[in-house]
Amino acid sequence: MARNASLKKSVRSARPLYILDEQIGFILRQVWQRHATIFARDIGINLTPTQWAALAKLLETGPCSQNQLGRLTAMDVATIKGVIDRLTARGLTETSPDPADGRRLLVSLTRAGQQMAEKVAPNALAISKETLAPLDARERETLVALLSKLR
């Protein structure tokens, strides 16, 4: 009896093979949740992170196809379509025929969309800065470089 109890105790005290708190996916999800909370609090306007990504990328690149915009912002076809539909309904983006290929529509910022994106950009920079605030400058640079390698 004592040997059996001792065996059960040693099995229970062994370190589990999988510790959730040490897994990269779990850590990234927690960091994303923290960042999303900061984003929602500080963006300064009713925008989701995916809507902001689309606006910011259009501000950066200019007009592009919805498909290309989805690739540039890491959104699947259904997600980018929904994002652009909502931004267009708000008067922030518009579509027009591509002069180089009449079968394709280009998505672009409206004047209001460009003004909003330019106005919100400093908030977005501050959000990134706050997300990374627990790290010193060298750690921030290293983290971004390492995460970029994992893309």
CATH of residue 50: 1.10.10.10
Other beta carbons within 10 Å of 39: 20
What is the pTM assigned to this prediction? 0.85
Q: How many domains does the chain have?
A: 1
95 domain-assigned: yes
For residue 95, give its domain range.
45-149
At residue 101, the pLDDT reads 87
In contact, 63 and 54? CB cutoff 8 Å: no
What is the pLDDT tens value at each position of the chain, 151 positions in all?
556 655 555 556 788 999 999 999 999 999 999 999 999 999 999 999 999 999 999 999 999 999 999 999 999 999 999 999 999 999 999 999 999 888 888 999 999 999 999 999 999 999 999 999 999 999 999 999 999 999 9
The phi and psi torsions of 70 (rounded to 5 degrees) equal -60, -45
